[in-house]
């Protein structure tokens, strides 16, 4: 016997996924949210997204005194469940998207071997920061110990103001993150494994014109020192192998992000060259009918909680309108 199809299934449980769930639930679409499960890849990937690795969030509207990242995600979930969204802690491993989902629903294969069907699917699996993979880096990142993958999110926190901070990376994102930090840090130390940046010239010039920037060429971070909060980096010269210690009070990793789209391989959803879900228009609609995307999985530019939440709202509204047009409400 074939099980009935859900109206909306949401894959992912960050700000985009939970916001989509709130809107879809309030529209009486009985959404089902698949949150995913914790894993290492090589850094921590947790249900709730990147905010689960953020201690104090000061830039999300409505919290004038800040809020802990995990607490904010718990409130998102609580609100979705209040409106009767169904929450299932499981991974979606593979998707079979239909060309006519109003009549032949999409099929989602779960990691436990079961499958569910849905007329509309909202992909909100986010993107994970690329980490160095050092044990102490991961320990301090997950404990709020001054290691972060988002300077715009965390750089203005009191703990980093007036301090010596380090940024690892050499691309445009690293330049942007470091330039932002120069407004707060006493010195921003750029640590790069090569003897030149790969970032655009204009981004390099903008950063290097700041008086409080120091570049450490041909260096890699091999350890992060500090018990409960970062105290220093151990650097290794890529040519000589010589090691040195760099005292810092903050470390920002800026070596890119990886969108969580592996489970979409072979599904027919169009991805960008960087692996993000492609959105042909300003809406959340993908190239497939009844398939929508929201948040960092489709946003390689902003990657903020508030923009992800806004995209989750759009996806839910777009899905509701699409379902109504198909006579499914």
Distances, alpha carbon 209 to alpha carbons 204, 215, 327, in Å: 8, 12, 59
59: three-class secondary structure by DSSP: coil
Give 232-236 contacts, CB < 8 A, sequence gap 24+: 233/166, 233/191, 235/191
Claim to verify: residue 271 and residue 188 sit in the same structural domain:
no
With CA atoms as reference, report the closest residue to 76 among 292, 295, 222.
295
Note if 153 is an active site residue: yes
Whether residue 183 sits in one domain with residue 152: yes
My answer on whether 236 and 159 are in the same domain is: yes
Domain boundary among 231, 253, 275: 253
Of 50-54, 71-75, 190-194, 233-237, least confident by mean pLDDT is 50-54
Q: Does residue 264 share a domain with residue 214? A: no
Average pLDDT on 148-157 reads 91
**For position 44, what pLDDT does the model report?**
65
Q: Is residue 166 part of a domain?
A: yes
Task: Judge if 152 and 237 occupy the same domain.
Answer: yes
Quickly list H helices, 56-143: 69-82, 135-142
Cβ atoms < 10 Å from Cβ of 85: 24
**What is the predicted pLDDT for the residue at 329?**
80
154 is catalytic: yes
Digit-coded pLDDT (tens) for 174-210: 999 999 999 999 999 999 999 999 999 999 999 999 9
262 and 286 share one domain? yes
Check whether 69 has a pLDDT greater than 70. Answer: yes
List the catalytic residue out of 41, 91, 95, 153: 153
Q: Of 176, 206, 175, 205, give the one whose Cα is nearest residue 192.
A: 175
Domain count, the chain: 2
Catalytic residue among 154, 296, 299, 318: 154
Cα dihedral sign, 255-261-265-271: negative
Residue 35 falls within a domain, yes or no? yes
Mean pLDDT throughout 293-320? 96
Answer yes or no: do 202 and 181 share one domain. yes
Per cent of the chain over pLDDT 90 is 86
pLDDT at 263: 96
List, in order, residues 6 or more apart from 250 with CB less than 8 Å away.
146, 147, 148, 155, 159, 160, 163, 164, 165, 166, 185, 230
pLDDT band at 52 (very low <50, low <70, confident <90, very high): confident
pLDDT at residue 152 greater than cutoff 90: no
Residue 250, both tokens: 């903050």
- Examine residue 112 and state whether it is found in any structural domain, yes or no: yes
Q: How far apart are CA 160 and CA 152, in angstroms?
A: 12
- pLDDT averaged over every residue in the chain: 94
Q: Give the tokens for residue 299.
A: 């946003």
Q: Is residue 89 part of a domain?
A: yes
In a domain, 1, yes or no: no
Q: Which of 253, 277, 298 is the last residue of a domain?
A: 253
Rg (CA), the chain: 21
Please confirm, yes or no, whether 150 is among the known catalytic residues. Answer: yes
Nearest CA to 97 out of 106, 108, 88 is that of 106
Higher local confidence (pLDDT), 152 or 3: 152
- Measured CA to CA, the distance from residue 217 to residue 227 in angstroms comes to 27
Task: Report the CATH number at residue 35.
Answer: 3.50.50.60
Same domain, 79 and 15: yes
pLDDT score at 1: 33
Q: How far apart are CA 134 and CA 207, in angstroms?
A: 27
State residue 169's pLDDT score: 97
Alpha-carbon span 27 to 22, nearest angstrom: 9
Task: Decide if 121 is inside a domain.
Answer: yes
Please state, in angstroms and rounded to a whole number, the distance separating the CA atoms of residues 122 and 107: 13
- Compute the 3-state secondary structure of the chain and give helix, strand, coil in percent, each to the nearest 5: 30, 25, 45
The per-residue pLDDT for range 9-36, each reduced to its tens digit, is: 999 999 999 999 999 999 999 999 999 9
| Shared domain check, 82 and 61 | yes
Which among 220, 238, 253 is the end of a domain? Answer: 253
Specify whether 92 is located in the same domain as 136.
Answer: no
Asked whether residue 214 is domain-assigned, the answer is: yes
Catalytic residue among 150, 296, 299, 318: 150
Structure confidence by residue, pLDDT tens digits, 89-107: 999 999 999 999 999 999 9
Residues 124 and 273 in one domain: yes
In whole angstroms, what is the distance from residue 33 CA to residue 247 CA?
44
Q: What is the pLDDT of residues 109-139, one digit of tens each?
A: 999 999 999 999 999 999 988 999 999 999 9
Rounded Cα distance between 121 and 172, Å, is: 33
Closest CA to 79 of 140, 32, 126, 23: 23
Query: Does the model's pTM come out above 0.85?
Result: yes
Q: Are residues 197 and 273 in the same domain?
A: no
- Alpha-carbon distance 215 to 134, whole Å? 22
DSSP string for 202-257: HHHHHHHTSTTEEEETTEEEEEEE-SSS--EEEEEETTT--EEEEE-SEEEE-S-E
Position 314 pLDDT exceeds 80: yes
Query: 158 lies in which domain range?
Result: 131-253
Give residue-wise pLDDT tens across range 256-304. 999 999 999 999 999 999 999 999 988 999 999 999 999 999 999 888 9
């Amino acid at each position: 016997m074939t099980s009935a199809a859900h109206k909306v299934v949401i894959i992912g449980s960050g700000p985009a996924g939970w916001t989509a769930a709130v809107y879809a639930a309030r529209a009486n679409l009985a959404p089902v949210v698949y949150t995913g499960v914790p894993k290492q890849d090589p850094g921590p990937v947790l249900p709730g997204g990147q905010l689960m690795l953020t201690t104090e969030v000061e830039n999300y509207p409505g919290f004038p005194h800040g809020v802990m990242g995990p607490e904010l995600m718990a409130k998102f979930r609580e609100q979705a469940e209040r409106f009767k969204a169904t929450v299932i802690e499981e991974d979606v491993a593979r998707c079979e998207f239909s060309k006519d989902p109003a009549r032949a629903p999409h099929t989602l294969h779960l990691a436990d071997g079961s499958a569910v069907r849905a007329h509309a699917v909202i992909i909100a699996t986010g993107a994970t920061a690329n980490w160095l993979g050092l044990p102490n880096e991961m320990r301090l990142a997950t404990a709020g110990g001054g290691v972060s993958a988002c300077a715009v999110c965390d750089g203005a926190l009191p703990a980093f103001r007036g301090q010596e901070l380090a940024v690892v990376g050499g691309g445009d994102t690293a330049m942007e993150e470091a330039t932002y930090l120069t407004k707060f840090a006493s010195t921003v130390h750029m640590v790069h494994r090569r003897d030149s940046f790969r970032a655009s010239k204009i981004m390099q010039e903008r950063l290097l014109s700041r008086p409080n920037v120091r570049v450490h060429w041909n260096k890699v971070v091999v350890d992060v020192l500090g018990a409960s909060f970062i105290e220093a980096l151990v650097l290794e010269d890529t040519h000589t192998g010589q090691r040195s210690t760099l005292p810092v009070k903050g470390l920002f990793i800026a070596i890119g992000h990886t969108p969580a789209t592996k489970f979409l391989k072979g599904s027919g959803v169009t991805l960008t060259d960087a692996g993000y879900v492609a959105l042909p228009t300003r809406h959340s609609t993908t190239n497939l009918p009844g398939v929508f995307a929201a948040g960092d999985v489709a946003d390689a530019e902003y990657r903020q909680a508030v923009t992800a939440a806004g995209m989750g709202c759009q996806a839910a509204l777009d899905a509701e309108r699409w379902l109504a047009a198909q006579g499914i409400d």
